[in-house]
Amino acid sequence: MLTRWCERVRRSGELTVFADASAVGWSDALRRARHVFNAISWSAKLGVRLIHSTEAPDLDAEARGDSAHSGADVHFCISGVAFNTLEGRTRYRANTDAPEIMVKAKITLPTPMVSAGTGISDREAGDGVKMVLALHELIHACGLGNREHTPLGGDADVFCGVFDSIKVNSIFREDDTIVKGKIEFPPATLNLRTLNFIRTNWR
């Protein structure tokens, strides 16, 4: 189900995103995810853009009602590595007076690993794969829940359900793709259904 951000954040039309030290290897992927989202948002008039922040979220300040000094809206962090887990988790921090309204979000992702082949060491998946995973969770941070995941079909986009696997297409990390059904990402696409959910939630 859709979850609304607090009035302060919705009015600004911005979600500020802070990546902590655990995400140092994700800086390029996260930058690309923000760029892709913002380009689509501008074109489709979604009403929200993603902004890089260097201020960690301060939940205590938000609880005190000091929203002007509460830091970033979204906390992005990485938890270990994984070969078989191709999904993250986005948790919402609710307003104490209005539990249906969120005031902060936290994204946690594992770094995806691949077995590159016989005689080749296991390695991290390419930044294209990480960009898709980050973009998926950032859409959750916009307030979309699992119910809003895109059904698998010809119009599937990066907001589909749990991805199936990572495909190693060459010796180069950047050629890796992430697979759902018969569809490979990148490129990162958002279909009309997902766009309408985001636009509705940010009116």
- DSSP element (H, E) containing 88: none
For residues 175 and 126, the answer to whether their CB atoms sit within 8 Å is yes
Which position has the token pair 């930044």?
Answer: 127
Please give the residue that has the higher pLDDT: either 161 or 153: 161
Residue type, 177: T
Would you state the pLDDT for residue 71? 86
Would you state the pLDDT for residue 68? 56
The full length of the chain comes to 203
Would you state the pLDDT for residue 64? 58
Distance CA 133, CA 141 (A): 13
The answer to whether residue 200 scores a pLDDT higher than 70 is: yes
Would you state the pLDDT for residue 35? 98
Write down the mean pLDDT value for the chain. 90
Q: What is the mean pLDDT of residues 46-65?
A: 83
Would you state the pLDDT for residue 63? 56
pLDDT digits over 61-109, tens only? 655 555 555 789 999 999 988 887 788 999 998 877 777 898 999 999 9
Instruction: Count how many Cα atoms sit within 13 Å of the Cα of residue 124 in the half-sphere of its side chain.
Output: 14
Cα dihedral 155, 160, 166, 168 in deg (nearest 10)? 20
Would you state the pLDDT for residue 81? 87
Distance CA 1, CA 93 (A): 15
Would you state the pLDDT for residue 54? 94
Q: What is the mean pLDDT of residues 169-173?
A: 88
Domains and CATH numbers, the chain: 4-201 (3.40.390)
pLDDT digits over 113-160, tens only? 988 665 567 889 999 999 999 999 999 999 999 999 998 777 789 999
